[in-house]
Amino acid sequence: MNKKHKIQRDLTVLALLTAILAVLSAYPISLAMAQVNPPPWDISLNPQEAETGVGNVVNQTLEASPSGGGPVTGEDSALFGIELEITFDPSIVQVVDADAQEPGVQITPSSVFNRSGVQVIINSADNASGLIRFVANVTGQGDPLLTQAGSLATIGWRGVSEGQAQLQFTGKGSTKNGFPIELMFTTGTVTVVSNSPSGTVLLQGRTDHSGTVITLIEEACPAGVWINSLVTKIAETVTDQNGFFEFQPLPGKTFGCLLAFKHAYLTAQHSDPQGNLGTITLLGGDVNEDDKINIFDLAYIASRYKGTDLTADVNGDGLVDILDLTMTGGNYGKTGPLTVWQTNP
Ligand SMILES: [Ca+2]
Ligand SMILES: [Ca+2]
Ligand SMILES: [Ca+2]
């Protein structure tokens, strides 16, 4: 081959290369798009708005699903790695440690992360600063973490004080080849409500409903007449003029029963008292405090009629008279404890 032919051949090769480059340069964006823009995923919480009491625990599941519906497959589309940060207000909620063996506080990874070829690099919750960090990925030739909607983890929240904790997310996913997968976050909340019981206890035949003693005990509601010495009292309060009572927050306490006691009235109870219990009206006439209204009460009132022994004064007006006798007679045969509370409108 002479020099002239070699130059001609080189020019031909150059022209071909130029043509190829020209063709390629017409499509670089679409080629690039196909590789670095895998479909985004939605990250959400179930339930989105969780609620619990002070000292109580509620679970929220962290869920992922392809924004387009899925399933999403292929090395450059499916979810092979994920990093998430969730911030929360640690003065309102704290993360419950899901792994007692591991130092620090962890959330519970879903079964997706509980197979070979999947590694959880970071799983930590900082209850001082209010930050959850979760990082996991697939190693080797493992299958993707997810190709369709599924659960990532469960977070257990313990209520610390009344209020609403806003949860904020940041993070991203990764394809197998390390292209970023955009995560679209739907933020959630955890609302902590007071678990302290409140309610209204009215007294039949009175306009001033004050003075009923309300007691919270650990034990389940006792059947029949309850005896002070046999129960473990957690707290005690007294109703106001409107019959209203409310306990201060009692973090970490669980109550078996709430008891209401007022002399000359049948007692009332409420099992597992939490929050607003509603209203109950105590029936009058039990002057001998055996939680029964019967002939003994009527006899007692009759024997003190118009007298000065005010233990027989059922309606508390300072007199033992026909009003006390009639109310007691009207309740004849009734027994406590009363347990039917009306829900406030
Ligand atoms: Ca731990
Ligand atoms: Ca009685
Ligand atoms: Ca009276």
The 10s digit of each residue's pLDDT in 70-97 is 788 888 889 999 999 999 999 999 999 9
Give the pLDDT of residue 32.
45
* Structural domain boundaries in the chain: 38-193, 198-330
Give the pLDDT of residue 103.
96
Is 139 exposed, middle or buried (CB count within 10 Å of its CB: 0-12, 13-18, 19+)? Answer: exposed
Q: What is the Å distance from ligand 1's center to 99 Cα?
A: 4
Give the pLDDT of residue 12.
64
Give the pLDDT of residue 51.
94
How many C-beta atoms surround the C-beta of residue 53 within 10 A? 22
CA dihedral 137, 140, 146, 152 (to 10 degrees): -30
Dist. CA 158–CA 142, nearest whole Å: 35
Q: What is the Å distance from ligand 2's center to 334 Cα?
A: 9
**Tokens at 284, concatenated:** 């009058």
Instruction: Reduce the DSSP state of residue 4 to 3 states and report it.
Output: helix
**Ligand 1 (single-atom ion) residues, CB below 5 Å:** 97, 99, 102
Dist. CA 171–CA 87, nearest whole Å: 12
Which residues are registered as beta bridge partners of 157?
A: 58, 95
Give the pLDDT of residue 29.
47
How many C-beta atoms surround the C-beta of residue 48 within 10 A? 13
| Ligand lying closest to the C-alpha of residue 314 | 3
Low-confidence ranges of the chain (pLDDT < 70): 1-36, 225-229, 251-252, 344-345
CA dihedral 286, 287, 291, 294 (to 10 degrees): -60
| Ligand lying closest to the C-alpha of residue 298 | 2
Give the pLDDT of residue 70.
76
**Tokens at 85, concatenated:** 């940060």
Helices (H), 143-238: none
Equal fold, 38-193 vs 198-330: yes
Could you please state the CATH topology (level 3) that the domain comprising 38-193 is classified under: Immunoglobulin-like (2.60.40)
Q: What is the Å distance from ligand 3's center to 316 Cα?
A: 5
Contact 164, 92 (CB under 8 A): yes
Q: What is the Å distance from ligand 2's center to 159 Cα?
A: 43
Its pTM stands at: 0.62
Give the pLDDT of residue 10.
65
Could you please state the CATH topology (level 3) that the domain comprising 198-330 is classified under: Immunoglobulin-like (2.60.40)
Q: What is the Å distance from ligand 2's center to 314 Cα?
A: 12
Q: What is the Å distance from ligand 3's center to 208 Cα?
A: 13
| Ligand lying closest to the C-alpha of residue 313 | 3
Q: What is the Å distance from ligand 2's center to 302 Cα?
A: 14
* CA distances from residue 278 to 201, 222, 248, 265, 309 in whole angstroms, order as listed: 9, 21, 17, 19, 34
Q: What is the mean pLDDT of the chain?
A: 89
